[in-house]
Each structure stands twice: as C-alpha cells, then as structure tokens.
Amino acid sequence: MSKSNKKTIIVLLLIVVVIAMVPLFTLKGAEFGGSDDAGSQAISEITGTDYQPWFTPVLETWIGGKLPAEVESLMFSLQTGLGAGVLFFFLGRYVERNKWQKKIRDKEEETYDSLN
C-alpha cells in the first residue's frame, strides 16, 4: 500500500473515533441506550395506548424471559468477532499474496535483466 493511502486511512479512522466518542463526552448524563422498550414509546405516543407486541423474540421464549444485558453484549461481540475474523483473515492472505507475488516478479525481472 502506498504511503499516501496509509496516511489517508489513519486520518479517516481518527475522524471516525472522534465522531463516535464526542457525544459520549459532551452529552454527560445521557442514557445512550434503553434499547428495546424505547421504540415502543414512539408507537404508544401515536396510538395513544400502551402498545403490546404480539410476538416475543424466539430466544426470549426459549429462555423464558428477557435476554440478560450481559448475554446480549456477548452475542453482539460474537457477531463483531465473527465478522472481523473472516474479513481480516482473508485480507491478511491478500497482503501476504501481494508480498510473494512481488518477490516473484522482482526475481523474474532480475533473471530477465541478467540474460540480456
């Protein structure tokens, strides 16, 4: 990868971190959460009644209750981990492949040069 590309990537990632972290530091005391019942509030406000979902998530039916927050975060990290594993495994292979392909090319050029 060229140097300018590397620099671009670093700068872009820094911007991402800033955008993601600024609300956390500036909005002190904000909840940043309340995942599932929050959406129902908007619906309840419109319909004027307490909305009762007509179907519960299958996992919550199986375990007979709400999914514990800790387990939910485990599942989310599992999803991230699976994705990151696959993505960067193949990316790593590509990086290595580029390395040895470049080596072979250099060698071929060397032999070609020495023959002439």
Partner 1 sequence: MKLSEKRIITLVAAFALVFGVYPVANAMHIMEGYLPVQYCIVWGVVCLPFLVRGYFSIKKVVSQNRKSITLFAMVGAYIFIISSLKIPSVTGSCSHMTGTGLGAILFGPTAVSILGLIVLIFQAILLAHGGLTTLGANTFSMAIAGPLVSYGIYILCKKVKVNKRVGIFLAASIGDLFTYCVTSFQLAAAYPSDNGGITASFLKFLGVFAPTQIPLAIIEGILTVVIMIMLESYATSELIDIGYLKGEINNVKVK
Question: Could you list the residues that contact partner 1 (CB under 8 A)?
Answer: 1-2, 5, 8-9, 12-13, 15-16, 19-24, 27, 30-36, 38-43, 45-48, 51, 53-60, 67, 72, 75-80, 82-87, 90-91, 94-95, 97-98, 105
The whole-angstrom separation of Cα 101 and Cα 107 is 10
Measured from the CB of residue 116, what is the shortest distance to partner 1 in angstroms? 19
Q: Are 53 and 66 in contact (CB under 8 A)?
A: no
Q: Return the half-sphere exposure (C-beta side, CA atoms, 13 A cut-off) of residue 80.
A: 6
Minimum Å gap between C-beta 110 and partner 1 is 16
